Structure 1
Amino acid sequence: MPPTDPDAEIRLVAFDALRSLVARHGEILPWEVIAEGFQHRGERILFANRARGIFRPKQMTAGALSIKTTVPKAGRVARYDDLAVEGGFVYHFQGTDPDTFDNNALEYSASLDAPMIYFFGVAPARYLVLFPAYAGAIDRTALTCEVVIGSANELATRATTEVLRRRTVVAKPRWEHAILRDRTLSAWDHRCAVCSLSTPALLDASVVWPDGALRGAPEEDNALPLCLLHRDVFDLDLLGIEPVGTIRLARSLTAAVGGGPVLDAALKPFDGARVRWPSVSRPRDEFLLQRFERFARAA
């Protein structure tokens, strides 16, 4: 049985603070929000350090509170492959010496079986927040550590590593979609491709051509930002977008009479309108064409 974690109280307060932040901002947080830290016993405690991947605040005496991976500003590389096939993240030690202060803090967290926070970089200065994260198998030669994600409702009774691995595999598509949504909305300046609605809570990302995802997790070149109404209509193949950007509605919608204000005001006016493409990261023509051909067959 692992020793008692002397910093358990701080960890629980940190998790409570994160729940509030996620409820307010979503599960992908900007660094400026993370950098504010949280309050405990009259002190401000940091969640993480911008310059370091493994972090233990000065108020803690044992293992790490958080680990972090970043996306370089100069060029983004998809990090989905950090999620191993068997369901655990592969986290790389800091530097090449396994016995640095930071790496020892991570190993100590593993020995305590202590829950941590994983700030998983999805774009420069933006992080998917995963907790509780547990450090598992450590390979000091490869300088790596397996990390599995638990349930925020089971902090008192940690599930077995095998159970957590299975849950991680199940949760992976949800995390990937959250990343896709964040990147797609950012590329399109947080607006619907059809109607330009710019209320973030009412926007989502739709995959253009599902088979394009066979190359891995969907990327922005295979996604469109759509408001919830136009997302549902697009996903049902009642709305199509030609590679040149012309929006088309299915005949069942354009020919409908007396369909109500939503049909008349929020759908029909966009038939024949043009999408205003962003300056970067628009969907690939081949995906748009394949999807439009499917729409045309259905319509």
Structure 2
Amino acid sequence: MVEPNGLRETAISWLEMRTDGGRDPLTRDEIQDFEFDGEQFKLQSTQQGIRKPAGFSAALSIQTVFRRPGQERPYEDVIGDDGLLRYMWRGNDPTFPENVGLRNAMEQKLPIIWFWGVGMQPARFQVIAPVYVVGEEPNEQRFLLTATEPAADISEIDFSAHEFVAKRYLTRMAKVRVHQPVFRATVLTAYENRCAVCNLAHPSLLDAAHIVADGDEKGIASVVNGLAMCKIHHAAFDRYFLGVRPDYTVEIRHDLLEEVDGPMLRHGLQEIHGQKLMTVPKVRQDRPQADLLKFKYDEFRTAAKLDVV
């Protein structure tokens, strides 16, 4: 079967719709619902990481398996200091059909879909699309990809003249298109789509709050550095109105406890002072790391003292 015209664009548009613009992860069964020209078409591989349908010259999709913190992946897919994504070959033979398929996608400048595992039982995948293969590192047995749009393809960037700017641009795009949605999906999945503070269970009103900001060297992009929070509690947490002790006790800044305002302040903040988090991940490896909570809590205490002076 020769690759049908328009299949990739149709698949990416369908995934965009099904994921609410890339916000919501999908299960394998949900991904299998895709149809093209009235017939079901398989977008994701179940055995290999690279999906190159029979008859296609180029790969259609890749996947990264879900692993909990501390667990090794069979392949380590990473984002480099240059802002480019790395995806490992299948095996160590560059002539494997799947590896050739990714190489052909690079030469033909075709968009591909990345299914990034963010949970299990059932397995859930964050959809990152489109991404483009833009290079290869044969010694490390891996491909280079970018999450930029076609108009901002890495081939159009003059690294010799604008290397610093180009790296910053690609790194920012990788965070926006890959790190942030994967982090959000992983954290919300671990917290079963509930706010850790108030137990609100509407995913569209929830964020994945970094305990330590991702700009800090301690701010790892891992579920152990995250808390699922509704938008009110996320904003309060980031701005040091709300703190969380390493024992999961919530504290509200003391001047807010004395303030008189409406029901949101009273019920949403003042009444939760001294209470434990209402939701934490059932799997121990996914729970907030104590040293990260302490680091953020110490900042909260410092900020509260400064605001009083």
- TM-score by length of structure 2 reads 0.80
% identical equivalent positions: 27
Instruction: Please give the secondary structure, in 1, of the residue aligned with 2:83.
Output: coil
User: Partner of 1:260 in structure 2?
Assistant: 262
User: Partner of 2:223 in structure 1?
Assistant: 220
CA contact (8 A) 2:69 2:224 kept: no
Q: How many residues align?
A: 288
The one of 233, 236, 239 equivalent to 2:236 is: 233
Matched letter for residue 63 of structure 1: A
Q: Deviation string for 1:116-172 (max 9, x for gaps)?
A: 112233444333322222222234554322122232xx5xx5734354866431123
- How far off is 1:101 after superposition? 2.2
Q: 1:72 to 1:15 in 2, by over 3 A?
A: same
User: Partner of 1:63 in structure 2?
Assistant: 58
User: Partner of 1:145 in structure 2?
Assistant: 143
The one of 18, 21, 35 equivalent to 2:18 is: 21
Instruction: Please give the secondary structure, in 1, of the residue aligned with 2:29.
Output: helix
CA contact (8 A) 1:208 1:223 kept: yes
CA contact (8 A) 2:90 2:98 kept: yes
Matched letter for residue 134 of structure 1: Y
Q: CA RMSD in A?
A: 3.0
The one of 89, 92, 105 equivalent to 1:93 is: 89
Matched letter for residue 189 of structure 1: E
Q: Deviation string for 1:74-131 (max 9, x for gaps)?
A: 9744888611222222222212322222222222222212221122334443333222
- TM-score by length of structure 1 reads 0.83
Q: Deviation string for 1:175-216 (max 9, x for gaps)?
A: 323222222223333222211112111111222233895146
Structure 2 gaps of 5+ residues are 158-165, 305-309
- How far off is 1:52 after superposition? 1.8
CA contact (8 A) 1:212 1:287 kept: no
Q: 1:248 to 1:74 in 2, by over 3 A?
A: closer
Once residues 265 and 215 of structure 1 are traced to their aligned partners in structure 2, the CA distance between those partners, rounded to angstroms, is: 33
Aligned residue runs from structure 1 range 1-299, under 5 A: 7-23=4-20, 26=23, 28-36=25-33, 38-58=34-54, 61-71=56-66, 76-77=71-72, 82-124=78-120, 125-140=123-138, 142-151=140-149, 154=150, 159-161=153-155, 163=157, 167-174=169-176, 175-210=178-213, 213-215=216-218, 217-257=220-260, 259-276=261-278, 277-279=280-282, 280=284, 281-299=286-304
CA contact (8 A) 1:92 1:143 kept: yes
Structure 1 gaps of 5+ residues are none
Once residues 213 and 228 of structure 1 are traced to their aligned partners in structure 2, the CA distance between those partners, rounded to angstroms, is: 22
CA contact (8 A) 1:28 1:178 kept: no
Matched letter for residue 299 of structure 2: R
Q: Deviation string for 1:7-54 (max 9, x for gaps)?
A: 441111112112112217725333232232x22222221111111222
- How far off is 1:232 after superposition? 0.8
Instruction: Please give the secondary structure, in 1, of the residue aligned with 2:174.
Output: helix
Once residues 203 and 297 of structure 2 are traced to their aligned partners in structure 1, the CA distance between those partners, rounded to angstroms, is: 26
